[in-house]
Structure 1
Amino acid sequence: MRLPVYDKDGNRTDEILEFDEKIFGEEVKKALLKEAVLMYEARKRQGTHSTKTRSDCAGSGRKLWRQKGTGRARVGPARAPHWKGGGTVFGPHPRDYGYAIPKKAKRKATDSAWLAKFQDREVLVIEDFELEAPKTSVVYNVLSTLGIVKNKTLIGTSQERDNVLLRSARNIPRTSVDIVSRLNAYSLLYNNKILLTKKAFNELIQNRNGEVKSLKRESLYKK
């Protein structure tokens, strides 16, 4: 597979990166992706919902009237569930919805998400932003030139945390920044476009024992 490289202004350069996409798997495992996404969504649930049982409600535990002799049905205290202001039966209580799938399954799900993004041409590579100080307009102009400013875009950087880029992009709607090694199946599928720096792209491929070849457009498209 081949990907073009864009410069810091968002314009296409003469460089093209070639790599073997099979390092991410032979095919996209949709069932595994669904399982991974459900796991990450379950982990995001707060689980703070709560209801009161009959022991938590205000009121006396005294029997409302005597058992026999009134002609009425036998009853217990006013905190019983069938009385107004009484407790709730089998209501929700605070709980943790999170669960985990095997580590190998998570890794394969992440690889399948990468493969899907590459096959759908939703991954772009930029040389670098070259920001010395936080500047939102620079990042915004790059995204606008690439035509992805209105999409949910994830900017992937190398292992070194780029605080300047993070502060430059945090005010742009639908745009986030993260280290490429921390990206998972959910974060990849949640975003419409993935914009990787050239260094981050090389790390992504090399960490999976792949090789990146740098080609020139002139050598590929000779007249």
Structure 2
Amino acid sequence: MELSVYNIKGEATGKTVVLNDSVFGIEPNDHAIYLDVKQFLANGRQGTHKSKERSELSGSTRKLKRQKGTGGARSGDINSPVMVGGARVFGPKPRDYHFKLNKKVKSLARKSALAYKAQENAIIVVEDFAFEAPKTKEFVALTKGLQVADKKLVLVLADQNKNVYLSARNLEKASVVTVPELNTFKVLDAKCLVLTEASLAVINNF
């Protein structure tokens, strides 16, 4: 699959690049995508949720009424889970949600996500560029030139570029990542994927 290369003004440069079929042309594996996204979201969970159980609640342990002869149900102390303000049964406890996923599964999931973007024609390739200083205005001009200003996009760079990153930091629908930071969730979460020539050369070798 061939794509045209654009400059930062959104003008075609006349150059074309080839998307590697072994990455962008595979049959997407939905289950691998599910597992990778599930792991990404699970690993982001703090896991510090906690509710008090019966033994941890402050309150009298006196039996509220006698066992028999009241005509009502028997009841224990005021900390009972059936009482208003009582403890919680089997409440959440602090836990770690992390789980392991094989590298080959994660690699397949990322390739599958990229293949979906290729099928949707949601990939744009731009020339390598850099900003002399952090300017949000310049990044907005870039998105308008590429006609993706109203879309949620991810710009993928081959290497860290602080000025480009800071230029996009204030924009809600735009994010800048390097190739090692690109994961399945980020690819699927974006409506449009903007790749530089250098980053595409690396991604083609996934």
* TM-score, with length taken from structure 1: 0.83
- Pairing 1:201–2:200 present: yes
**Paired-residue identity, %:** 37
Aligned equivalents of 1:117, 1:48: Cα separation in 2: 36
Structure 1 segment 184-223 matched on structure 2, within 5 A = 184-205=183-204, 207-208=205-206
Structure 1 segment 1-223 matched on structure 2, within 5 A = 1-24=1-24, 26-67=26-67, 74-158=74-158, 160-205=159-204, 207-208=205-206
Aligned equivalents of 2:130, 2:193: Cα separation in 1: 18
1:75, distance to aligned residue in structure 2 (A): 3.3
Aligned equivalents of 1:197, 1:156: Cα separation in 2: 7
Conservation of the 8 A alpha-carbon contact between 2:24 and 2:118: no
**Letter of the structure 1 residue corresponding to residue 54 of structure 2:** R
Conservation of the 8 A alpha-carbon contact between 2:130 and 2:161: no
**Letter of the structure 2 residue corresponding to residue 78 of structure 1:** I
Structure 2 unaligned regions, length at least 5 = none
Residues 66, 186 of structure 1: alpha-carbon distance in 2 compared, 3 angstrom cutoff = same
**1:90-124, CA deviations, whole angstroms, 9 ceiling, x for partnerless residues?**
22233333323212101111111112212221111
Aligned equivalents of 1:69, 1:130: Cα separation in 2: 84
Name which of structure 1's ranges 160-169 and 17-26 shifts more when overlaid on structure 2.
Answer: 17-26
Structure 1 unaligned regions, length at least 5 = 209-223
Aligned equivalents of 1:180, 1:62: Cα separation in 2: 63
**Letter of the structure 2 residue corresponding to residue 195 of structure 1:** V
Conservation of the 8 A alpha-carbon contact between 2:157 and 2:196: yes
**Letter of the structure 1 residue corresponding to residue 203 of structure 2:** L
Aligned equivalents of 1:167, 1:103: Cα separation in 2: 31
Conservation of the 8 A alpha-carbon contact between 1:8 and 1:130: no
Conservation of the 8 A alpha-carbon contact between 1:7 and 1:13: yes
1:69, distance to aligned residue in structure 2 (A): 7.3
Conservation of the 8 A alpha-carbon contact between 2:125 and 2:195: yes
**Letter of the structure 2 residue corresponding to residue 177 of structure 1:** V
* TM-score, with length taken from structure 2: 0.89
- Cα root mean square deviation, aligned: 2.1
SS at match of 2:171: coil
Residues 75, 4 of structure 1: alpha-carbon distance in 2 compared, 3 angstrom cutoff = same
1:26, distance to aligned residue in structure 2 (A): 3.1
**1:47-96, CA deviations, whole angstroms, 9 ceiling, x for partnerless residues?**
33332211122212223345567777543221111222211112223333
Residues 152, 131 of structure 1: alpha-carbon distance in 2 compared, 3 angstrom cutoff = same
